[in-house]
Amino acid sequence: MAYNFNWKIMLSGEPAQWMWEGLVTTMQIATISLLCAMLLGIVICVFRMTPFKLLQWFSLAYTEFFRNTPLLVQIFFWYNASHFVLPEALNKWMNVLYYWFPGPFTLFGHEYAGQWMLFNVEFMTGVIALTVYTSAFIAEEIRAGIFSIPKTQIEASRAVGLSFTQAYRYVILPQALRIVIPPLISQSLNLIKNSSLCMVIGVTELMFMARQVESYHGAPFEAFSAALLIYLVISLFVSFGITMYNKHFLIQVRY
């Protein structure tokens, strides 16, 4: 039985609107996750470089655990935690707070105190999973950038009176972050592509919408070809950005 291709269906009407909404959601979840992953990755990297053994062990365990477990499993883990573990824990804390401070809960209604899911839980679960997973890789890349900085710079920083935190904040991290921008951009590209896994928990991103077009309009090849093309355009745009950065702004560390 021959397949009847209908490419026009993806250019207008409901399928086009769905694919656009999916792209917007994909960029939203990727942008929020990338910003959070950058901040968390920097913190984890600094923990790894501190002289405190407890923080070093925590950072090592964090990066090794999340880098060596599948992202899909992590997404399901955070999804189930957000639906079963966290609400129950919050309800218990809310009951304790209601016992000691009944005034605010009586004013606003105690029955709503434990209902924390006032936002899109699936979206936030995807953000958490992508943030934690990507931050582990970002922390290792920033650590590699720090190791590329001559040790004499940290020694000179401490010699002029800067504390450990000040030396990293004002001297080491600004240089390391500039050096590792190309691999960080690559991580942002990986994060955008990894966001497609969030469809399994109901996040209405690009792949979710492609499946919806397939189900409602019977155009699987056209829908997934459009999604493939969109991801390809995003990847080529990011690759072009990396090339331009390497050509015009990349610095060389001199020893």
Tokens of 26: 């994909």
The C-alpha atoms of residue 128 and residue 75 are separated, in whole angstroms, by 8
The residue whose two tokens read 């053994």 is 53
pLDDT at residue 66 in the model? 93
* Dihedral (CA of 232, 237, 242, 246) sign: positive
User: Mean per-residue pLDDT for 239-251?
Assistant: 71
Whether residue 3 has pLDDT greater than 70: no
User: Mean per-residue pLDDT for 101-128?
Assistant: 59
User: Mean per-residue pLDDT for 215-244?
Assistant: 84
110 vs 212, residue with greater confidence? 212
Least confidently predicted of 3-7, 59-63, 230-234: 3-7
Does the domain at residues 29-200 carry the CATH identifier 3.30.70.20? no
Q: What is the DSSP letter of 113?
A: T
**pLDDT confidence tier of residue 109, bands split at 50, 70 and 90:** very low
Q: Which of 37-41, 104-108, 162-166 has the highest mean pLDDT?
A: 37-41
Prediction pTM value: 0.78
**pLDDT confidence tier of residue 41, bands split at 50, 70 and 90:** very high
Instruction: Note whether 123 and 29 are within 8 A (CB).
Output: yes
Residue of 129, 138, 137, 139 whose CA lies nearest to 29:
129
Please state, for a pLDDT cut of 90, what percent of the chain lies above it. Answer: 28
The C-alpha atoms of residue 183 and residue 187 are separated, in whole angstroms, by 6
pLDDT at residue 253 in the model? 43
The C-alpha atoms of residue 149 and residue 175 are separated, in whole angstroms, by 8
User: Mean per-residue pLDDT for 110-139?
Assistant: 75
Whether residue 61 has pLDDT greater than 80: yes
